[in-house]
Structure formats: structure tokens, C-alpha cells
Chain A
Amino acid sequence: MRLNEFTAQALRSMVVAGEISCREIIESVLHCIKERDGEIKAYVNVTGEEALKKADELDDKIRRGEEVGPLAGIPIAVKENICTEGIATTCCSKMLANFIPPYDASVIKRVKDAGAIIIGKTNMDEFAMGSSTETSCFFQTHNPLDTQRVPGGSSGGSAAAVAGHESILGLGSDTGGSIRQPSAFCGVVGLKPTYGRISRYGLIPFASSLDHVGTITKDLTDAALLLRIIAGYDEMDSTSVNMEVPDYVKGLKDDLQGLRIGVPKEYFVDGISSDVKEAVFKAIDSFEAMGARCEEVSLPHTEYAVATYYLIASAEASAALARYDGVRFGYCHEDAEDIVSMFSKTRGHGFGSEVKRRIMLGTYALSSENYDTHYLKAQKVRTLIRRDFDRVFENVDCLVSPVTPSVAFKLGEKLNDVLNMYLSDVCTIPLNLAAVPGISIPCALSNGLPVGLQIIGKHFQEEMLLRVAYAFEKNVDFREVNVGEGGRKV
């Protein structure tokens, strides 16, 4: 096994034991990128030289016997919408193609302090608006498990990088499923914690009240490890919560005895492929075999989540993306006779069509004649959706569901079917609306492609999520669970 194929936890102990150097880890990952990224295209920018320099610094420190952080020498792939000081952060939009942030996002500060090394910036849908990483202004990313297929999105670059061993750890963002869905498509672990658990300072917003920073890792232990580093109150983000951060790694227990797991029936409706259903039901059987009690529950307003989400997310996006006017940063269309035309031309040329579509939808939903019937209505339904979760969590410890209606689809397959693309987020969106945490882990293969399992928890109960997911990982090798035709063949 090459070093880039290990987990962070494993590499960490090898580094501590002096068996390997940080430089060796970075070199191994850079080698893989060189070999594979021409095809996968996970990265829009690889910061190899700087990464090697950092690795040497850490190696020197270790040689001198100095203290290094818990992620010393571990490469991390960072989504292109998380600000990195001095490194272009473009949101994969022509609008920000030249933007160099003069500051680090709070999560970047934390991973750097922990010794992690930024290996590069990863591809994404433009401004995180998409589910396939196909709306990036640069290029499409390919699923490392089947390069004819999408890696999912919008954090498709980070998920593909981790799944393809082009990085050890990944950072992504999740506004409606953008970490969990690509993680499911690429067969890795994607965690969207509770809103407020991780600082959003430095995450370029799509929709403030729905945006989350989260982790993409090869396994549960790495998810726990990385979450422990980046979670917690940040004085730069008023919506980050001042609560103690537990030691998530210690909390990983292979014990589900007596745990109550809910299975929300609304997440198994038409449109969810039979393979996915089968995979999730098999997972439920496994949980029961491990001693958990699974029962059907209902989140009755689930069918309204997608509509609610598109109104709220677009409304918030219309404001969050208004600042791109060409004056202070970003693309500027200089050939304009007056300020109004400079703004309109800059924005008209700088944004891609998916972004423009959502900005206009948002403007429409907020305009005085539509506010009550659209934006306000959606915020009321959001209350109903939140209440669904509050109610169901009175009786169960967590929920399990599919992540996506199907496995990874082919490149170009859904690009022009706007509404269908939106609808495919039906299982992930409700969590963003309700601010509850969710994790996607691979639970089966369908014709060789991974199927994701979503575990949903109560506010700030990431520990519970990780524990349930960890028990599954310990007891079930998803590569051996085949569903659909592949399943029948075995």
C-alpha cells in the first residue's frame, strides 16, 4: 500500500513513531495527483511546492523533538469556496477567477495550526450551485470510481480527491447536500455537522442560513479526528455556537445496543431507485443485528423540502452574491458607459447561467409583490420541517435514510434538466433546513458503484452520528454488500 492510500489516523501514528516523514506523505500524494488528476480533474490548483516546504519545516521540528499538531504532515484538499490567504479562491466562477483572499477562513487557520498541509484547491459547481461539479467555470471533475460518471457536487472535487487517494483529508461545504451527495457518489465519508458547530468565517456564502463547512474523509476515525480540530466557537462567526467540543475519536464505540433508530418513510418514496432502497434496508438489517431497534417514523413535510429550499436558498443567494459588482474584487467589465451598465455587464458576463437563474429566482421571491407568497411562505414551511425533526427525535436517537435517489449518474445526463437536478437533493436538503447534522457513509455497491447511507442526528449530537456510522463501518464491509442486478448475481 502506498502512503497516499492510508488514513490520516494511520499516517499520524507512523509519523509520530518516526517511521515516515511528512515529506514522504506529501510526495506520495503529489505523485498520485500527477498520475491521476489529468483524468479525474479534482483539483483546480495544486500547491505542491508550498506543501513540500511545509512538510520539511514539520520534519525539522519533529527531528528537533518539538511539539507538532495532531494533523502534522497530513495533506488536506480544500474546496475552492473556502478562503485561503494568498491562494486563489475562485468558487470556480469567472467572477472570482483572480480573487486572492487577504485572509484565511477560520477552518483553514485551525487545520494549519493542527499541522495539516493544504495540498490544493478543489473543483466545485460554480458558487456551490449544483449537484455534479459540472457548472464549474474551469472543467468537469470525473468520478474516480468510474470516470464516465460525475463525482456529485458541489464538493465533487474534494470528494474525488479523497476517493482517488489524491488527498488524505478533504474540506467541503454543504448547503443542500453538497458534501453528503458527492461523498455517496465517490464512496467516502462525508459529514455535515450541526449549523453553528463549525465556523463559516471564510466560507464564501451561497445561502447564509443553510451553508455549512464539513469534512470528507476515507473513514469514520478521520472524520472524528478532523471534526475535533475544526469544530467549536469562533468569535468571527456570530452563528457559531459556544459549546464544548467533545473528543469525537474517543467517542467512537462499536456498540449500538438499545439504540433507537428511526426510518423516515418519506425518504423512500418514488424516485428513489430500488437499488438504493435495497442497500439502505440491508443496512437497517445490519443495525438491528448489532442490537439497535429500528422503527418506521414519519417526517410528514419532507415532500415540501425541495420547494422550500429553492426559495430560501435562492433568496439568500440573491443577496449573498450581490457584492460581485466589479468594484472591490473579482471580474470587472470595464467597457461600460456608466455604473449601472458596469454592474450589469460584470454580473451578466461573470456569472454562469445556473448562478444567474438562482439569483433571479431569489430576487423574484423577495420582491415586494412576491415576498409573502414565496419567501415568507417558505420560511413558514421551514418551521414545519424543523418541527418534524423535533417531534421525531423525541422518540429515536437518530434516523437512517438514503443520501441520493440513485448512484452516480453519467456526465451531462442531468445538466439540462434543471428541476430534476434539484429534485435529486430530496434526502439531503431537509437537514440543512432544520440545521441537524448528517453523515453519508458507503453502505453497498450497485454494479460496482457505491451507495450512500445517511445517518441523521439531533442538534449537536455529532458524537451519536459518528458512533452509529462507526459501528456500521466496523461490522459491515460495504464492498461486499451488492445490490440490484449485481446483488442478485452474487
Chain B
Amino acid sequence: MTEYEIVIGLEVHAQVLTDSKVFCGCSTEFGASPNEHTCPICLGLPGTLPVLNKKTVEYTIKTGLAMNCDIAEFSKFDRKNYFYPDLPKAYQISQYDMPLCKNGYIEFWVNGEKKRVGINRIHLEEDAGKLVHAGSIAESQYSFADYNRSGIALMEIVSEPDIHSPEEARLYLNELKKILEYLEVSDCNMEEGSLRCDANISLRPVGTVTFGTKAEVKNLNSFRAVQRALEFEAERQADLLREGGKVIQETRHWDESKGITIPLRSKEEAHDYRYFPESDVPPLVIKDSWVDEIKRGLPELPAVKRARFVNEYGIPEQDVEVLTETKAMADFFEECVKDYNEPKTVSNWLIGEFLRLLNAEGIEIKESKVTSRHLAGMLKLIKDGTISGKIAKTVFEEIFKTGKTAEIVVKEKGLVQITDEDAINDVVDKVISENPGAVEDLKAGKNKAIGFLVGQVMKETRGRANPQLVNEILRKRLL
């Protein structure tokens, strides 16, 4: 691929996290029975009119601010006309030439270097319904339309063609998702369709500036799919060009199972969307005071938080990356540090045990029973010697499972560390008598044997003996 430069631009549709739809009062809740979250407005019944949801505007502006955009002083809505059975009015209320936000950028790290990708625009629009193809597509004669999604607010975030590798594309999306989650303006759930991405990709000979012909790739259902599809598409286009062929401007469909992109059969001649102003929705005049008010509500953004965690808590960069992956994790960390002021220990537990358990269960931090208090409480028990670090893992698993506090778990399971010398001496007696070989080895100067003997004592006490104490006692008695 060295002879061609890859040029990628991404269009992301993110569902705006509101209770009601953008132009009507229907609920946006996921998972209802088909067409139960519909009303005359989002079904496009004749005579109905749209009324704009204020929060969708504010959240879009908020996103624009977080992505360093210029916020429009004047913005309007337009009708985008096309026929498709999932689009009830046969036009989508969208924004054509006066989007809410323009000219921003996102920064993130690629292989240790800071990368900036421009944001061309962010605009607000309504989603279409969903078509379900019953049974096997080949067999069924029908498709089925469910308009619960119809009229849900979407932000379309369009990047500049500043992305130059499939990996960069994935990292860009990762950062974008993180920002949206931090802002709490979208829940970015790709499975539920609340985050969707289309990619434009073209190649040009290295050193040239003119753009090559692009293909648009659709049906990208995960960030990994984006990267894989773009890798495939870059290779496909490069092969074509190397053989002296031409890339055709077209829309291609990513086939996840086969790992290839295929051209969409397009019966229709090129779309003509016939955009024109939506006169049913008065325009938006956005004063500085409104923007300032929204700005005051902005949370700390991922990039700023990362830098602060490194400086304020002295946590290594790689760990900070994991710790700030979600706002929930970062907040958990800071809450926990308030109760137990050893940031590194807290961080290690979070990105170690806690993340392992979360991943194993496949749940989000917010869904887990563990609170920052739980963790801080347990760490205190380790520190004051009530439990050993080793036992703590068992304790934490139990907290994770039951949501009980560390104190209760330790009490119920009898996991208090044995620090009573007499009690340990009794076990040591037993271990010495049962392991004469190891005792001989130790006496003969084989220091390794001490580890084995300590291990045996720990085994006998089911891990509850204080290992330092066991070590001391063994040394005192045998050396």
C-alpha cells in the first residue's frame, strides 16, 4: 500500500439521548412491541405537524462545543425527499445548508502521536423506522415496517477526510464515542442502533493532493467492522488502481461474515433529494447567552481528564487510558480515591480485578453491584491487616457477586487474617513434621524451600495466615 495514501471520512449517526422523540412526544425507549411508540406525528399521518424538542438542540450544541465547533447563530431545518417504506412522510426533516455546528475537530493519540481530525459539521435530524425481513429473506414475500424508531433524534457528525488508515478510523470512532458518553448526550449502543457509522474511502498516489474516486461503505455494525471493512476496501481499490482500473463512485455493503464489501444493487438512478426549507419548523436563532449556558454545563472531556489523572494521581499513561475509557470508570476511580487515598492501588484494582470481572460478566460498570465505597472499604481491610491481599481477591469476587460490604463478606466467610502467633505456630508444627525433606533442604541452605513451606502453611489455613508472619516464624524456628 506504500504507493497510495488512504483518505477516509466518516459519517456517524448518534441517537440523541432524550426521553421523547425529536418532533413528537412518543417515547424513545428501546424494546417496545412494534409500532407501540408511534403517534399521528411520527407515523406521518396527514395534517400533523412537527414541534422541535429543545433538549435535542441543546445536546447537539453541547456536542459541537465539545468537538470545538462553531455554533451557528442561525440554523434551520430542511426536507430531504426520498421514497422508502421506512420513511413515513417520504421526506426526512434534516438540516442541509445551515447545520447547528460547523468546523470543529477531535484529537486523539495514534501510536504515541497526537492526531487531529476535522469535524465538517454536526446536524440534527429525525431517524426513520425499521424494516424487518421475516424469516429467511429469500423465502418471505414481504418486509415489515416498525416505526418506533421513526422520529427519534439523531445527530449526524461528519468528519473531514483527514483519516489516513483503517486503524485511525477506529481510534477516531473510539474517541468520538468516548466524548458522546462523557457528555451523556448519547448512549452509543451499536447493537440497539443508537450509534451508526458510514465510511467514505478513496485512494490517491502518495504525494498528490487531488482526491481519488470514493466508495461509501455501509452496514458497519461495530468499530471492528469499520476497521476490517476499510482494510478490505483499501486493498480492493489499490488492486484495481494497480491494474490500471478505475474505482467507481458507489455505495458498498459490508458483509461481515464473508469479510468483503459488495456493491449495493441500485435500481434507481442517482438520488435527487430535492432539499428545500422545512416551513413547518421555525428557524433557530442561537444567541451567545444560550451557548454560554450550555458551555457551563460541559463536563471535563476525556483528553483533559487523561492529562489530569497523569498529573494529579501520578498514574501511568497506559493505565489512565483504561481508567478513562468510560466516564463511569473514571468517576468510580475518583470517588474511591476520596475514601482511600492511594490512587495507584485503587487504579490497579479497577483495571485489574474489577475490569476482569466486568468483562467476564459482559456488563457495564454502572450495572455492577460494586460501589466505590465497597472497594475503598475492602482496601482499608487489606491495609489494616484484617485480610491478606490474596484473600482480598476472593472477598472482591464475593462483593461483586452479592453487593455485600467487605466487612460482612469477611465475617460471613471467616476470612479474617490469622495474626495470632500461637495459632500459626500450631500449623507450622504440623507442616514441619509433615515435610522433613523440605526442612532438611532449608537447613542445608536451599533458600527456595522456605517458599514451599510458607505455601504449605497458607494452604493449611486456606490463605488466611499472614504470610509475613509465617515467613518470620519459619525462619526463627528452622534457621
Chain A interfacial positions (CB closer than 8 Å to B):
81-83, 89, 91, 96, 99, 101-103, 105, 200-205, 208-209, 235-239, 315-316, 318-319, 322-325, 327-329, 339-340, 343, 363, 366-368, 371, 375
Contacts and interface: CB of A to CB of B under 8 A. Distances in A.
Given A83-B46, A238-B51, A238-B280, A102 B79 contact: no
B47 A205 contact: yes
B227 interface: no
B365 interface: no
12 contacts: A83-B47, A96-B46, A101-B47, A102-B40, A102-B45, A105-B47, A205-B47, A319-B79, A319-B81, A325-B83, A329-B46, A368-B272
B52 A325 contact: no
Nearest to A363: B274
A395 B269 CA distance: 54
Contacts of A375: 276
B136 interface: no
Nearest to B46: A204
Interface of B: 40, 43-52, 79, 81, 83, 85, 88-91, 143, 145, 147, 267-268, 272, 274, 276, 279-282
Contacts of B47: 81-83, 89, 101, 105, 201-205
A414 B268 CA distance: 38
Contact of B274 (A103, A343, A367): A367
User: Quick one: which of A82, A328, A375 has the most chain B CB within 10 A?
Assistant: A328
Nearest to B41: A236
A328 B50 contact: no
Contacts of B48: 103, 201-202
The majority secondary structure among interface residues of chain B is loop
B301 to A, nearest CB: 33
A322 B267 CA distance: 20
Contacts of B88: 323, 328
B241 to A, nearest CB: 30
Contacts of B45: 101-103, 328-329
A236 B49 CA distance: 7
A323 B280 contact: no
A236 B52 CA distance: 10
A323 to B, nearest CB: 5
Contacts, number: 100
A368 B46 CA distance: 27
Given A323-B88, A328-B43, A363-B274, A343 B49 contact: no
Contacts of A343: 83
Closest 5 CB pairs between A and B?
A: A322-B90, A366-B274, A209-B279, A204-B46, A202-B47
The majority secondary structure among interface residues of chain A is loop
Contact of B279 (A89, A239, A367, A368): A239
User: Quick one: which of B44, B81, B276 has the most chain A CB within 10 A?
Assistant: B276
A380 to B, nearest CB: 13
A366 B276 contact: yes
Nearest to A209: B279
Contact of B81 (A101, A103, A322): A322
A89 B281 CA distance: 25
B50 A368 contact: no
A316 B43 contact: no
Nearest to A330: B46
Contact of B91 (A103, A235, A319): A319
Nearest to A102: B40
Given A316-B279, A366-B274, 20 more contacts: A101-B40, A101-B46, A102-B45, A103-B48, A203-B47, A238-B50, A238-B52, A318-B274, A319-B81, A319-B90, A319-B91, A322-B83, A322-B90, A323-B44, A323-B89, A327-B85, A327-B145, A340-B267, A366-B81, A367-B274
A206 to B, nearest CB: 11
A343 B86 CA distance: 13
Contacts of A366: 81, 274, 276
Nearest to B48: A201
B280 A239 contact: yes
Contacts of A239: 49, 279-280, 282
A485 to B, nearest CB: 45
B35 to A, nearest CB: 10
Contact of B280 (A81, A102, A208, A368): A208
Contacts of B40: 101-103
A294 to B, nearest CB: 35
Nearest to B145: A327
A208 B81 contact: no
A319 B88 CA distance: 12
A329 B43 CA distance: 10
A455 B231 CA distance: 69
A366 B91 CA distance: 13
A286 B444 CA distance: 133
Contacts of B143: 339
Contacts of A339: 85, 143
A361 to B, nearest CB: 13
A339 B145 CA distance: 12
A102 B267 CA distance: 36
Contacts of A329: 45-46
Contacts of A209: 279
Contacts of B145: 327
A345 to B, nearest CB: 13
Contacts of A340: 83, 267-268
A210 B45 CA distance: 19
A159 B267 CA distance: 47
Nearest to B268: A340
B46 A322 contact: no
Contact of A323 (B46, B279, B282): B46
Given A319-B91, A327-B85, A368-B274, A236 B51 contact: yes
A325 B274 contact: no
A163 B404 CA distance: 81
A151 to B, nearest CB: 24
A343 B85 CA distance: 9
Contact of B276 (A200, A201, A319): A319
A85 to B, nearest CB: 10
A321 to B, nearest CB: 9
B283 to A, nearest CB: 11
A325 B81 contact: no
Nearest to A343: B83
B265 to A, nearest CB: 12
